[in-house]
A and B are shown apart, each in its own frame.
Chain A
Amino acid sequence: MADTLFERPGTSRVARDVTAWDRLKVHRDWLGMWFMLPALAILILFLAYPLGLGVWLSFTDARIGRTGAFIGIENYEWLWGDSVFWLSVFNTLLYTVVASIIKFAVGLYLAVLLNHSLPFKAIIRSVVLIPFIVPTVLSAIAFWWLYDSQFSIISWSLRQAGVITTNIDFLGDPWNARWSVIFANIWRGVPFVAITLLAGLQTMPPSLYEAATIDGASRWQMFRYITYPLLTPIIAVVMTFSVLFTFTDFQLIWAMTRGGPVNATHLMATLSYQRAILAGYLGEGAAISTAMIPFLLAAILLSWFGLQRRKWQQGESND
């Protein structure tokens, strides 16, 4: 490539050695560094450093307003014997597994439905995205009102239909609350899964379906043996993101239940926030959020190495 010195036409200059200054201005590596500088500065100062600091904090007894001393793995030992922490791990796993599976199933189904020729196709597709676009906190408040113990429209409708006699206490009972927040999470995540998978469905070569039809394949066989295998790369991407962000979800829970009732909906993220920021035990809270990292690494490594390594990971177009 033309990365050597180029003269502006018209400026006459005698040939001279490339000075250090010239090299700073045009050498590929130096130039690359200048261009990277703003992004790197922000990412190092506000991403890499805090990430390291979080891990370090988890080994100290830091409180808010007081830098802590190194205490080894005492925070983790304390968490090991803490039943609330284990409850939050259970909740997080339940929340992630159930929500991800249903999000995938419903999202895939919705994507297949949207792939049909429909009247007002474009409008329907953009309308479907609304739950994903709207701020999580806002939709959480909408659900909080839908789940209200007295004025819930769901309870009211079911009572009118004669299914139940008393209002359902959506967010007051441990298991009700768990399923309620899981439903809200699914509601929010389905559009993302559906639209991304729809993008994948649109690139399917039609000749395969024609061939399958001639061979007498049923709709289910076409889906199972053509659509699904061709869709796996995109499914891998979508589900990695979905699992990752469900696992570390904070906003939805915090806006709806704050981890209650009796810690039944505390996820690891909300518990760490409560311990670190509200109670002031930064070290302990940091230990909880650091404990999430192994789970996240497992999910990332699975997509990075386990599933096919794809060009999209380096920012190239999908293949």
Chain B
Amino acid sequence: MPRDCRLPIISEGMSYLESLPRRLVTLYLPLGLIMLVLLFPFYWMALTAIKPDEQLLDLDRFNPFWTWTPTLKHIQKLLFETHYPLWLWNTTMVAMASTILSIIASVLAAYAIVRLRYRGAQWVGGAIFLAYLIPPSILFIPLSTVVFQYGLFDTPFALILTYPTILIPFSTWLLMGYFKTIPFELEECALIDGASRWQILTKIVLAAGDARADLGLHLLLHAVLERVHLRAHLHLLDPAQDGAGRDRQRVR
């Protein structure tokens, strides 16, 4: 069974050599500690969200690690007394739009680099990888100017069009690897049968696997997460920023 051979021996074959106390000390204890540190902030945030105010502020009279009187007051305030639903909607829209844009662009680009192999395709492939290494934080100052130059300031397009700069290199790079796994013969047969490149891409290459769904999900997640970040960059640009201005921008 060749598949089994790829499983690490430490986990499958030799672990019986370890006694339970030894495993407890060398494995479960450190693992538990690391997991505790990694997860505690989330527990703490969730707990803070449902604790009543007086318990949040008075650590001495109440046990801070637990609450017996959870409240939905904070969440209710967020949903009904702030513009939170609108922000959520904006986030979703921008994430969806930039994800769709990125997927279309990177599927086409990855296919061309891997399968059309036009002159210089290898160099473009390398450049795409390098583009992924360019960190957003050296881009945000010039981007603030560029967004003005293109007339996109204060529109959702400022975000929808800038996110793909992070997403496209990543997804193109991922898709290039995926496209290479699809056998050439499939395409050659299709070409002989008179299919166009477009038909090959949509009916054979993309249909040959379920990578689309995975990638889409991943990119969507990426976009939603980074959204908060770039919004801060692009919308704090208003030089005449007062309280009302900030509020208006936050609402955007």
A90 an interface residue at 8 Å Cβ cutoff?
A: no
The reply to whether A314 and B126 form a contact with Cβ atoms under 8 Å apart is yes
B165 proximity list for chain A (CB < 8 A) = 42-43, 46-47
A229 an interface residue at 8 Å Cβ cutoff?
A: no
B219 an interface residue at 8 Å Cβ cutoff?
A: no
- Tell me which of A28, A134, A317 contacts B118 (CB under 8 A): A28
Known contacts A7-B194, A282-B141; decide if A36 and B239 are in contact (CB<8 Å): no
Interface readout for A85-115 with B: 1 if CB under 8 Å, 0 if not?
0000000000000000000001001100111
Interchain CA distance A300-B133 in the complex, whole Å: 8
Interface readout for B159-183 with A: 1 if CB under 8 Å, 0 if not?
0011011001100111011001100
Interchain CA distance A316-B176 in the complex, whole Å: 7
Stretch at the interface among B67-75, B81-89, B228-236, B244-252: B228-236
Interchain CA distance A49-B110 in the complex, whole Å: 22
A234 an interface residue at 8 Å Cβ cutoff?
A: no
The reply to whether A2 and B192 form a contact with Cβ atoms under 8 Å apart is yes
The reply to whether A286 and B35 form a contact with Cβ atoms under 8 Å apart is no
The reply to whether A187 and B41 form a contact with Cβ atoms under 8 Å apart is yes
A contact patch SS: helix
The reply to whether A289 and B141 form a contact with Cβ atoms under 8 Å apart is yes
The reply to whether B14 and A209 form a contact with Cβ atoms under 8 Å apart is yes
The reply to whether B38 and A187 form a contact with Cβ atoms under 8 Å apart is yes
* Residue of chain B at shortest CB distance from A275: B141
Stretch at the interface among A16-24, A75-83, A138-146, A169-177: A138-146
The reply to whether B9 and A145 form a contact with Cβ atoms under 8 Å apart is no
The reply to whether A50 and B142 form a contact with Cβ atoms under 8 Å apart is yes
Interface residues on B, range: 35 or more
A259 an interface residue at 8 Å Cβ cutoff?
A: no
Q: B67 → chain A, closest Cβ, in Å?
A: 13
Interchain CA distance A28-B111 in the complex, whole Å: 12
How many A-B residue pairs have C-beta atoms within 8 angstroms? Tell me.
Answer: 278
Interchain CA distance A300-B197 in the complex, whole Å: 35
The reply to whether A145 and B48 form a contact with Cβ atoms under 8 Å apart is yes
A307 an interface residue at 8 Å Cβ cutoff?
A: no
B172 proximity list for chain A (CB < 8 A) = 39, 315
List residues of B (68-117) whose CB comes within 8 Å of A's CBs. 101, 104-106, 108-114, 116-117
B176 proximity list for chain A (CB < 8 A) = 314-316
- Tell me which of A28, A277, A292 contacts B117 (CB under 8 A): A28
Q: A48 → chain B, closest Cβ, in Å?
A: 8
* Residue of chain B at shortest CB distance from A112: B10
Interchain CA distance A33-B120 in the complex, whole Å: 11
A8 an interface residue at 8 Å Cβ cutoff?
A: yes
A257 an interface residue at 8 Å Cβ cutoff?
A: no
B215 an interface residue at 8 Å Cβ cutoff?
A: no
The reply to whether A315 and B177 form a contact with Cβ atoms under 8 Å apart is yes
Known contacts A42-B165, A142-B41, A143-B41; decide if A285 and B56 are in contact (CB<8 Å): no
Besides the contacts A28-B118, A113-B27, what 16 more A-B pairs have beta carbons closer than 8 Å? A29-B118, A35-B112, A36-B113, A39-B105, A42-B161, A46-B143, A53-B146, A57-B141, A62-B145, A131-B41, A134-B42, A142-B44, A245-B135, A250-B229, A282-B144, A314-B176
Residues of B participating in the A interface, judged by any CB pair closer than 8 Å: 5-15, 27, 30-31, 34-35, 37-39, 41-42, 44-45, 48, 56-57, 59, 64-65, 101, 104-106, 108-114, 116-119, 121-122, 124-126, 128-131, 133-146, 150, 161-162, 164-165, 168-169, 172-174, 176-177, 180-181, 188, 191-194, 197, 221, 224-226, 228-229, 232-233, 236-237, 239
Could you list some 18 contacts between A and B, CB below 8 A? A7-B194, A8-B194, A38-B101, A43-B168, A47-B131, A47-B134, A53-B146, A116-B11, A145-B48, A190-B38, A205-B5, A207-B9, A213-B14, A248-B136, A254-B232, A289-B141, A293-B138, A315-B110
